[in-house]
């Protein structure tokens, strides 16, 4: 199904709106492939068509929603009826509604690459097999590969509404991932890495092999460190994780409900003056780039923190109306759920502190973080309390030292931002759509064995 066919389908549902009703229909169609290899053989090969439709109906400020995994006429008709019925039971809110066109012109970002279709299945399988082979061959300490895989998808998305919004886009994506194992006496250390691109030919296996192998092999012999106050050195992947946690608390819904540590703090210094953060889906270099948000409004660059000062929040049309700030084009959604404000393509400006090696070299006592565990349970997005498990290597006098595990770092999201002591100059576009340099955060409590 082409984007225009999808849009026509969405329009047919919207055209059934009764007087006084607002309707928004989002639908998607795509095909995907997924290859998993193990021990030099294809373990599984999946091919699939994926469809979805979500129907939002508003009657007098009351919202109902229904979704389905089929675009068959009978199912689509059922969903419209069900969404209407659901709206009867919701309570009215004057700010609830679909997005209204706001005059912002959408950027032209090309999200489709032909490689997903033109590269043969055999070549894709060969890519996954090569990834596994290279990880196994990279070091005698690698004792196995739990899974190596390749997957890609090509799909179209369309949205139409009674407010006159009509959007149809198409996009491709491809990724590889691998988990290396390194048996270490009675324990097994693991290293996971992945890469993503719009075209399979742009995937960088070298990078993936290096990271997966290093994280497994360098963890051999890991022990629990003594409790201490340390600097955390975060490569771009980990910097994206930590800043992403903060950005997740800057959404309009959290702020309006008082569930963010940053409520009422716009204009204040909330971070190191070295930190500038924006959400920018208009940047074609980011894999999170998109011309439109989940309600069909044009995406735009949304400054969040400039030189450490909080600028504002991420809004969809509902939180934009309710707060008076207006939508920032930040609605995110699948077709199977209601839109809500969120992050598209987080961007942290490069600083002046050099690359990861330089950050390490200028650290007296620190931890180079390989992974953070328990982010879901260990980060309270309301209070900002932060206590998560950490694995990585100690840094002593500018040198990488012993690997550590079974320890935690504790702080708050608020303090982590203020304690950023260096922003690297190694801006990296990550496969998850975040663009960020390495970061260093000072004065963090590492809890391990009692001193």
Partner 1 sequence: MIEQDLLDDVLAVALSRGADFAEVFAEDVRRGSVSLDDGRIESLASSRDRGAGIRVVAGESTGFAHTADLSPRGLRAAAEAAAAAVKGGTATPTKVSGIATTPGRVLQAPEDVAKATKVNLLRRAEEVARAADQAITQVSARYADTRRRILVANSEGVLAGDDQTKTLFSVSCVATGDTGLQTGHETVGLSIGFELFDRYDVEALAVRAAERALTKLKAIPAPSGTLPVVIGPGSGGVLFHEACGHGLEADLVRKGASAFANRLGEQVASPLVTLIDDGTMAEEWGQFAIDDEGALARRNVLIENGVLVDYLWDGMRARQEGRAPSGNGRRMSYRHLPMVRMTNTYLAGGQTDPDDIIASVDHGVYVARLGGGQVNTASGDFVFGMVEAYLIEDGKLTAPLREGQLIGNGPRVLQLIEAVGNDFEMGPPGTCGKDGQGVPVGDGVPTLKVAELTIGGTAA
- 141-160 residues in contact with partner 1 (CB under 8 A) are 143-144, 146-147
Q: Does 373 bind partner 1 (CB under 8 A)?
A: yes
Among 101, 221, 273, 374, binds partner 1 (CB under 8 A): 374
- Give the chain as a 3 state SS string: CCHHHHHHHHHHHHCCCCCCEEEEEEEEEEEEEEEEEECCEEEEEEEEEEEEEEEEEEECCEEEEEEECCCCHHHHHHHHHHHHHHHHHCCCCCCCCCCCCCCCCCCCCCCCCCHHHHCCHHHHHHHHHHHHHHHHHHCCCCCEEEEEEEEEEEEEEEEEECCCCEEEEEEEEEEEEEEEEEEECCEEEEEEEEEEECCHHHCCHHHHHHHHHHHHHCCCCCECCECEEEEEEECHHHHHHHHHHHHCCCEHHHHHCCCCCCCCCCCCECCCCCCCEEEECCCCCCCCCCCECCCCCECCEEEEEECCEECCCECCHHHHHHHCCCCCCCEECCCCCCCEECCCCEEECCCCCCCHHHHHHCCCEEEEEEEEECHHHHECCCCCEEEEEEEEEEEECCEEEEEEEEEEEEEEHHHHHHCEEEECCCCEECCCCCEECCEEEEEEEEECECC
What is the pairing mode between strands 21-38 and 41-59? antiparallel
Taking CB under 8 A as the criterion, the residue among 12, 15, 60, 70 binding partner 1 is 70
Residue among 22, 25, 51, 302 that touches partner 1 (CB under 8 A): 51
Footprint of partner 1 on 407-436 (CB under 8 A)? 407-411
Residues 6+ apart with CB under 8 A from 276: 303, 305, 306, 307, 348, 349
Which residue lies nearer to partner 1 by CB, 259 or 429?
259
408 or 438, CB closer to partner 1? 408
Q: Which stretch binds partner 1 (CB under 8 A): 49-57, 102-110, 168-176, 278-286?
A: 49-57
Residues 321-360 that bind partner 1 (CB under 8 A): 336-338
- 65 counts as binding partner 1 under rule CB under 8 A: yes
Taking the complex as a whole, the smallest distance from the CB of residue 402 to partner 1 amounts, in Å, to 16
Sites for partner 1 among residues 257-296 (CB under 8 A): 257-259
Of 44-52, 206-214, 233-241, 396-404, which part binds partner 1 (CB under 8 A)? 44-52
Residues 210-229 that bind partner 1 (CB under 8 A): 224, 227
**HSE-up of 250 (CA within 13 Å, CB side)?**
27
Task: Give the per-residue contact string, 378-407, with partner 1 (x = CB under 8 A; - = no).
Answer: x-x-xx-x-xxx-x-------------xxx
Residues 158-197 that bind partner 1 (CB under 8 A): 179, 181, 183, 186-190
Q: Which is nearer to partner 1, 68 or 238 (CB)?
A: 68
Least distance (Å) between residue 17 CB and partner 1: 18
Among 50, 117, 118, 399, binds partner 1 (CB under 8 A): 50
The answer to the question of residue 25 lying near partner 1 (CB under 8 A) is no
Kindly state whether residue 443 participates in binding partner 1, applying the rule CB under 8 A. Answer: no
Q: Quick one: 105 or 120, whose CB is closer to partner 1?
A: 120
Which residue number, 213 or 281, has a Cβ lying nearer to partner 1? 213
Residues from 72 through 101 that contact partner 1 (CB under 8 A): 75, 78-79, 82-83, 85-91, 93
Total site size for partner 1, rule CB under 8 A: 81
Nearer to partner 1, 148 or 289 (CB): 148
Nearer CB in complex with partner 1: 337/398: 337
Does the protein bind partner 1 through residue 118 (CB under 8 A)? no
């Amino acid at each position: 199904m082409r984007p225009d066919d999808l849009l026509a389908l969405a329009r047919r549902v919207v055209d059934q709106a009764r007087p006084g009703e607002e309707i928004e229909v989002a639908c998607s169609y795509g095909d995907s492939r997924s290859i998993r290899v193990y021990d030099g053989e294809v373990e599984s090969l999946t091919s699939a068509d994926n469809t979805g439709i979500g129907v939002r109906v508003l009657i007098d400020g009351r919202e109902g929603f229904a979704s389905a995994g089929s675009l068959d006429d009978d199912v689509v008709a059922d969903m419209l009826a069900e969404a209407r019925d659901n709206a009867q039971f919701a309570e009215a809110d004057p700010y609830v509604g679909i997005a209204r066109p706001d005059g912002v012109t959408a950027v032209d970002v090309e999200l489709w690459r032909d490689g997903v279709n033109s590269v043969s299945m055999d070549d894709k399988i060969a890519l996954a097999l090569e990834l596994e082979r290279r990880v196994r061959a990279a070091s005698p300490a690698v004792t196995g590969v739990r899974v190596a895989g390749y997957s890609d998808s090509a799909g179209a998305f369309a949205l139409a509404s009674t407010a006159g919004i009509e959007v149809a886009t198409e996009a491709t994506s491809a990724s590889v991932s691998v988990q290396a194992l390194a048996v270490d006496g009675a324990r097994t250390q693991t290293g996971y890495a992945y890469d993503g691109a719009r075209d399979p030919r742009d995937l960088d296996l070298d990078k993936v092999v290096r990271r997966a192998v290093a994280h497994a092999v360098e963890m051999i012999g890991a022990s629990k460190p003594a409790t201490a106050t340390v600097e955390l050195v975060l490569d771009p992947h980990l910097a994206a994780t930590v800043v992403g946690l903060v950005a997740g608390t800057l959404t309009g819904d959290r702020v309006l409900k008082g569930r963010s540590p940053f409520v009422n703090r716009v204009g204040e210094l909330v971070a190191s003056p070295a930190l500038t953060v924006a959400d920018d889906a208009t940047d074609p270099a980011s894999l999170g780039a998109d011309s439109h948000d989940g309600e069909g409004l044009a995406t735009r660059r949304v400054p969040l923190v400039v030189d450490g000062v909080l600028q504002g929040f991420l809004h969809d049309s509902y939180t934009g109306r309710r707060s008076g700030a207006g939508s920032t084009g930040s609605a995110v959604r699948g077709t199977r759920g209601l839109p809500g404000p969120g992050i598209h393509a987080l961007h942290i400006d490069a600083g002046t502190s050099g690359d990861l090696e330089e950050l390490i070299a200028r650290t007296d006592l620190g931890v180079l973080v390989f992974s953070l565990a328990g982010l879901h349970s260990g980060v309270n997005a309301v209070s900002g309390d932060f206590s998560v498990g950490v694995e990585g290597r100690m840094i002593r006098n500018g040198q990488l030292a012993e690997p550590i595990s079974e320890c935690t770092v504790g702080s708050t999201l608020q303090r982590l931002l203020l304690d950023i002591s260096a922003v690297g100059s190694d801006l990296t576009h990550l496969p998850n759509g975040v663009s960020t340099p390495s970061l260093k955060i000072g004065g963090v409590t590492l809890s391990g064995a009692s001193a």
